[in-house]
Structures are given as C-alpha cells and as structure tokens.
Amino acid sequence: MWFAVYVQAEEAKVKILEVAGDRVDNKSKLEVIRQEEEIIRREKEERKKEEEAERLAKIKVLAAEAAAAADVVQVLVNAACGLREL
C-alpha cells in the first residue's frame, strides 16, 4: 500500500527531526497520527471484507452439500416408493 509507505516516511521525518534536536510542530505529529489511524481503519475494513468473503464461500459449500444430500434423499424416497409398488 503506497499510503502506508508514505506514512512511514512522514513518521521517519518526524523522528529524524526529533533526534537531530529540531523542534517538530504538533500539527506534523498530529498529521502522522491521523494517517496511521487511517491505515488501521483501512486494514480493518479489508480484513472484514476478507472474512465476509470466507463466510460466503463456506455458506456456498454448505448449500451445495445440502443440495446433494437432498438429491440423495429424493433418490432413496423414490426407490422406497418403487419397492412398495412391487
């Protein structure tokens, strides 16, 4: 993610200025914090979408298994009805 790299670069600038003894204004620090929060929000959103996709895939598998089981039951019922007619 390019945004994460940008934030890391901004954070590094702030730390370099602090280590060098230069004053870093609170506005710059606050901007870095806001950007980090945005990255966290995006990552959470992405994780949530991935989890939803995984749940949907599981539901599809279960639905397919249920349909297959229903087909088997129908075959057995039809076979049982056929035996009664004999």
Residue 39 pLDDT exceeds 70: yes
| Contact call for residues 7 and 39 (beta carbons, < 8 A) | yes
Q: Does a structural domain hold residue 17?
A: yes
- Classify 21 as helix, strand or coil: coil
Domain count of the fold of the chain: 1
Cβ neighbours of 24 (radius 10 Å)? 15
Q: Does a structural domain hold residue 44?
A: yes
Residue 15 pLDDT exceeds 90: no
| Contact call for residues 58 and 20 (beta carbons, < 8 A) | no
Q: Tell me the mean pLDDT in the region 49-76.
A: 95
Structural domain of residue 11, as residue ranges? 2-61
Q: Does a structural domain hold residue 6?
A: yes
Helices (H), the chain: 2-19, 26-85
**Structure confidence at residue 31 (pLDDT):** 84
